[in-house]
Structure 1
């Protein structure tokens, strides 16, 4: 059952949507995107047939170390040139205007953190280097290995945005959520970088 985004989380939504301004404007057309429909499946990549190339539009993300198994919905770019975010707490959002998992550059997937422990990425800050992330799309599953986690103050996000939204080079994956709630607003962005396993 989909958990709708309560009004109290507007701060997180605005954080992710508001600080991700000045996204690259020379984005490739991602083509048609299907909605998430892939059923949940076993964890480890050893039990999967992994694709060598692109997963196609991602439909599911799994992080065994955190107990995350969630749908991925495509999100776009607002008229203000900021990244959209998922409308539900238990869904993640893949930035469809950027890279597809398994292709050159970083595929970017965002999810919410909630004080009620209902956010899909509530535990993202606890992920460790070497942890595995599986992304399944219409063309198959790809495995990524976490290389680092950065916790960046909101005012400093622009300094790391080029690395997050990298559109060339090796295939990578970036996960993001809000961090450090001070009772009124989120003060940081948690950014997880992973490389193709």
Structure 2
């Protein structure tokens, strides 16, 4: 899988001590079978780095032989059934009780330059979801991003780093279902050594990644040096 690209200069920032913008998401191409790849980069440097478009969708597996054919007899599988997952439905609201998050979603898409657009920087209480990826609760890794702060002050994911294993994340979907995820781990990664495969690779079950900026602020680079990533798995569903 391709390595994350280094953030470009951010000439738009003139006051390093003021509230900083979150980072936009890059979507470099990935090797076949490794799933999709994201990395947060500075909103102010959107014109600097131009990663390629996301990888093409994986072709569906070949169909099994017809039941009437002798070759269609398949021995009973001894492995356990896949973890439960929901059908596709777009997310509408994110709630994380432990850190008082209650925010609507906005869809994120790939821009003309091959960049995944960031959530609007003028809204402190808004999270973005990559609309061409797995929906929350659907099989695969659903990617949700939010700003840690904006030019107007602290933003929706300011306290994301304080989540702990076992914390719950509730995502209301357009189909009226609330998908509940349980946090497995909260980790901080250097942007220079971001573990792309671990964070963005496709998964056989329904999982969730919550991503924002973290660590120290590099005044010279005008950027945060780390990313905070929450790893969570689909736990249950109920009607809203």
Question: Counterparts of 1:11 and 1:108 in 2: how far apart (Å)?
Answer: 16
Report whether the alignment pairs 1:151 with 2:188.
yes
Question: Counterparts of 2:168 and 2:100 in 1: how far apart (Å)?
Answer: 12
Q: 1:119 aligns with which of 155, 173, 195?
A: 155
SS, match of residue 125 in structure 1: helix
| Higher CA-based Rg | 2
Paired residues of 2:140 and 2:207 also in contact (CA < 8 A): yes
Change (3 A) 1:171 1:21: farther
Of Structure 1 and Structure 2, the greater helix share is in 1
Q: Which moved more, 1:119-128 or 1:80-89?
A: 80-89
Report whether the alignment pairs 1:196 with 2:226.
no
Q: 1:141 aligns with which of 161, 173, 178?
A: 178
Paired residues of 1:175 and 1:191 also in contact (CA < 8 A): yes
SS, match of residue 182 in structure 1: strand
Report whether the alignment pairs 1:177 with 2:199.
no
The TM-score normalised by the length of structure 2 is 0.62
Change (3 A) 1:11 1:102: closer
Deviation at 1:168, TM superposition (A): 3.8
Question: Counterparts of 1:64 and 1:100 in 2: how far apart (Å)?
Answer: 21
Please name the residue that 2:117 is paired with.
84
Question: Counterparts of 2:132 and 2:100 in 1: how far apart (Å)?
Answer: 28
Question: Counterparts of 2:202 and 2:22 in 1: how far apart (Å)?
Answer: 28
Structure 1 vs Structure 2 CA RMSD? 2.9
SS, match of residue 16 in structure 1: strand
Report whether the alignment pairs 1:97 with 2:115.
no
Please name the residue that 1:43 is paired with.
none
Please name the residue that 1:41 is paired with.
none
Change (3 A) 1:90 1:11: closer
Unaligned segments of structure 1, at least 5 residues: 1-5, 29-50
Deviation at 1:118, TM superposition (A): 2.3
The TM-score normalised by the length of structure 1 is 0.74
Please name the residue that 2:20 is paired with.
9
Deviation at 1:12, TM superposition (A): 3.1
Please name the residue that 2:64 is paired with.
none
Question: Counterparts of 1:20 and 1:68 in 2: how far apart (Å)?
Answer: 32
Unaligned segments of structure 2, at least 5 residues: 1-11, 14-18, 26-38, 43-48, 59-83, 236-240
Report whether the alignment pairs 1:26 with 2:26.
no
Change (3 A) 1:145 1:123: same
Q: How many residues align?
A: 168
Question: Counterparts of 1:10 and 1:145 in 2: how far apart (Å)?
Answer: 28
Please name the residue that 1:131 is paired with.
167
